[in-house]
Each structure stands twice: as C-alpha cells, then as structure tokens.
C-alpha cells in the first residue's frame, strides 16, 4: 500500500516507517522536525545520537534498496498537507504527528494553547485532506490510554454499553484526561468520530499505552538508523528516567506513593500493531477504537524492576519517593481491555529482565550524554 507516516522522524514514527517500508509498502514521511527543536528549547537531548532525517533515509535506501520519501512541513498548514496528499494519494495515513508530552502541555498557558492548537487543528486538517484528496484512505490515529483516566470500573475498548432508566445504548467510554495534552487527544477522538459519521471516513483510534524499548530489527541495522532515547522530566517516560538514573548513580525518583498504574508495550509491538491495523482497515464510516498495550505496571513496579536489573549488573540503586508534581491518583483501580489487536494477530513481547537489561546497557553506554539537570521533574500541575 501507499502509506504516509506523519511524525515519521519521532520515537514511534521512525521505526514504524522502516518496518512498513521493509514489508513492501511505499512509505512517505511527513514531519516538521519540531521534536528536535523542543530538545533545543528544553536544553535536552536524546541519549542516543540521532542522525538527520536525510541521513537516516539515505542510509536506509543504501542498506535495503527501499526508498522512503519525506516531506518537511506542518499539518497545521493545509496547503502543504493538501499538496502532499494530492501527490502521494495514500491508502493509509498513520498519524503520530502531535505534541505528545503531558508535562510539556502543563508548562504554562502558552504551552497548553500550543499543544491543543497543534494537535487538534492538525488532526482536523488531516480529516479534511483525506476527504478532499483520498476519501478511501484509512486514517490510523495514535490516541492514548490517558484519555480514559483512572475510573473505578474496567476500561473497555472505546465504547461501553449503558443502561439508564430502563433503556440501553452503546456509547463512547467516558473520558477523564489528566493533562492538556490528554485533553487534546480526547478532542481528536470526538472530531474524528464526527467525521466518520458525516463523511464516511475510515478511522482507527489506537489508544496506546506507554511505549518502552529502543530497538527494532530495522533500527539495529546501522547506527545511523538508531531510535530516540528520551529520559528528561518532560519527554522521558518513568521507565527511561529510572534506567538513566540507575546508570548515573542517581536515586530512582518515584512520584508520590508510586501506585499510578498504566498500560505498557514494547516499541516492537507498536510497529506490529500499526502493520496489523494497516492490513485490516476500518469500514467506511467506522470509528474503531483499539486499546494498544500488552501489560499493566505501576510506577513503583517499574522502579523495582530497574533496581533489580541494575543491581545484577553491579550498580547500587536506591528508590526515593518525591512529592508528586502532577495532580493524579497515586493509588487506584486499573484494569483495561486489550483484546482486539491480539485477536487480529498481535503476539505480545513482554517486559522481561532481558529487555530491561538491553535498554539499561544502552543508557550506560551513553551516560556521558546525560544532562544532569534534566533527570528531575521541572513542571508542576498545580
């Protein structure tokens, strides 16, 4: 198929573009390189050195013979997006191109407004561009499990059957997002559901959990193809921060009591989930929701796993509990359904000590690149 990967220079988008390209799809990347600019703004970096997008795509072509086209531009610029759609005519549009950090969206008013405008308007433009230039195109939109929040009932996959005053209906699952970023994802979901209803678009909303891991078979082919490793308090996940903190001899900084529980999946499963969704498109007019994760862990679970693996490698590790900079429940019920992707063929790769050791060894190998000021939280919700 002809597949656009928007945000294809980023942590999830880059390995996805390689994976789909290797499997014979004609892949084009759209990216405005904003993720690299945010590193400059935050005085941060990827722990792993990252080549330019031009260097990455050229090396991929040299190694595999597969060509990945790329377009540098912004989804908020509709003329640009429309011209790309007119030229490429995609069968599928994989949409990773959003500001993805909850802390970044909570820095101040400007960052909150930027996040919502960038994400919501960009996604609106994608929907309009598909309608205008490629009406049969299947939009695969990266959502987040964070749309649901932490309700005291099981989380279903997008929809829930409700009985009220003797009548029943199947309705969108209630949303309780925890940041302006997560709110932007909720707005995306509502807008896309509406577009499916009025225009007959095909959309799959992938409510993805927290992604861990660095490598796929494709990114391991050459150092120029290496993926990002974010570890700072704004873009780094808790697991990445703990691994880097262990590598440099810093306490593992658990926010509050550490009972915050979320869904997780390996980056190798992320790219496989995209492939499965590309191969099994939504029907015309269907707004389909998959919960894209494979396991559930609390923050304290992760800290204890990292402590065990690092100590096996001879590192002394201490777990410290910080005052929580976020406004969130620190102990709560969390059980979410995730059956639809597995029913279509996903075979989960679980978070084993071997997987953690691989990431930890990467952190140790590049620990001279750590910006020490960035391993503690700097953004507060209050």
User: Has residue 318 been placed in a domain?
Assistant: no
SS3 322: strand
Residue 216 annotated among the catalytic residues of the structure: no
Distance CA 94, CA 17 (A): 9
Q: Give the position of tokens 């063929």.
A: 345
Residue 185 annotated among the catalytic residues of the structure: yes
User: Has residue 201 been placed in a domain?
Assistant: yes
User: Has residue 41 been placed in a domain?
Assistant: yes
Helices (H), 166-266: 180-199, 238-247
Structure tokens at 163: 């009985």
Q: What is the CATH number for 76?
A: 3.40.50.720
Instruction: Please state the rounded mean pLDDT for residues 355-382.
Output: 96
Catalytic annotation, pick one of 141, 185, 305, 340 = 185
Across the chain, mean pLDDT equals: 98
pLDDT, residue 272, reads: 98
pLDDT, residue 316, reads: 97
Q: What digits encode the pLDDT tens for the residues 132-161? A: 999 999 999 999 999 999 999 999 999 999
Please check the confidence at residue 58 and state whether its pLDDT lies above 90. yes
Residue 141 annotated among the catalytic residues of the structure: no
Dihedral sign for Cα 366, 367, 371, 377, please: positive
User: Has residue 354 been placed in a domain?
Assistant: no
Q: What is the 3-state secondary structure (H, E, C) of 60-103?
A: HHHHHCCCEEEEECCCCCHHHHHHHHHHHCCCEEEECCCCCCHH
User: Has residue 9 been placed in a domain?
Assistant: yes
SS3 22: helix
Catalytic annotation, pick one of 19, 71, 148, 181 = 181
User: Has residue 327 been placed in a domain?
Assistant: no
Answer left, alpha or beta for residue 4, where phi above 0 means left and psi between -120 and 50 means alpha: beta
User: Has residue 377 been placed in a domain?
Assistant: no
User: Has residue 21 been placed in a domain?
Assistant: yes
Q: pTM to 2 decimals?
A: 0.98
Structure tokens at 99: 């500001």
- Total count of domains within the chain: 1
DSSP assignment, residue 219? G
Distance CA 26, CA 20 (A): 8
- Which pLDDT band holds residue 312 (cuts at 50, 70, 90)? very high
Q: Give the position of tokens 């590309």.
A: 278
Catalytic annotation, pick one of 144, 253, 270, 362 = 144
Q: What digits encode the pLDDT tens for the residues 114-140? A: 999 999 999 999 999 999 999 999 999
Domain assignment of residue 90, given as a range: 2-217+264-293+333-348
């Amino acid at each position: 198929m002809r597949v656009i990967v928007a945000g294809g220079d980023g942590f999830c988008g880059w390995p996805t573009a390689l994976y789909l390209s290797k499997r014979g799809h004609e892949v084009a990347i759209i990216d405005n390189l904003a993720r690299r600019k945010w590193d400059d703004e935050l005085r941060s970096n990827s722990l792993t050195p990252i080549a330019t997008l031009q260097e990455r795509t050229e090396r991929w072509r040299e190694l595999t013979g597969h060509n990945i086209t790329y377009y540098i531009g912004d989804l908020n610029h509709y003329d640009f997006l429309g011209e790309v759609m007119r030229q490429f005519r995609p069968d599928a549009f994989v949409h990773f191109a959003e500001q993805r950090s909850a802390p970044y969206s909570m820095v101040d008013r400007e960052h909150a407004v930027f996040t919502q405008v960038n994400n919501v308007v960009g996604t609106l433009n994608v929907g309009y561009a598909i309608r205008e230039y490629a009406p049969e195109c299947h939009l695969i939109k990266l959502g987040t499990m964070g749309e649901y929040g932490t309700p005291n009932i099981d989380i279903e996959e997008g929809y829930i059957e409700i009985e009220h005053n003797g009548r029943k209906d199947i309705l969108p699952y209630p949303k309780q997002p925890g940041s302006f970023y997560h709110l932007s994802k909720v707005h995306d979901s509502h807008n896309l559901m509406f577009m499916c209803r009025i225009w007959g678009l095909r959309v799959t909303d992938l409510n993805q959990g927290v992604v861990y891991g660095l490598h796929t078979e494709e990114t391991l082919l050459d150092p120029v193809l290496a993926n990002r490793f974010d570890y700072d308090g704004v873009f780094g996940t808790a697991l990445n921060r703990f691994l880097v903190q262990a590598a440099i001899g810093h306490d593992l900084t658990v926010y509050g009591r550490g009972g915050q529980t979320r869904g997780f999946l390996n980056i190798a499963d992320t790219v496989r989930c995209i492939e499965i969704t590309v191969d099994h498109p939504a029907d015309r007019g269907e707004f389909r929701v998959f919960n894209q994760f494979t396991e559930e862990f609390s923050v304290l679970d992760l800290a204890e796993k990292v402590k065990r693996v690092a100590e096996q490698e001879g590192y002394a590790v201490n777990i410290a509990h910080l005052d929580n900079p976020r406004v969130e429940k620190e102990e709560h019920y969390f059980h979410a359904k995730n059956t639809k992707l597995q029913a279509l063929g996903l075979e989960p790769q679980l978070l084993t000590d071997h997987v953690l050791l691989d990431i930890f060894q990467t952190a140790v190998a590049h620990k001279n690149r750590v910006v020490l000021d960035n391993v503690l939280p700097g953004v507060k919700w209050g």
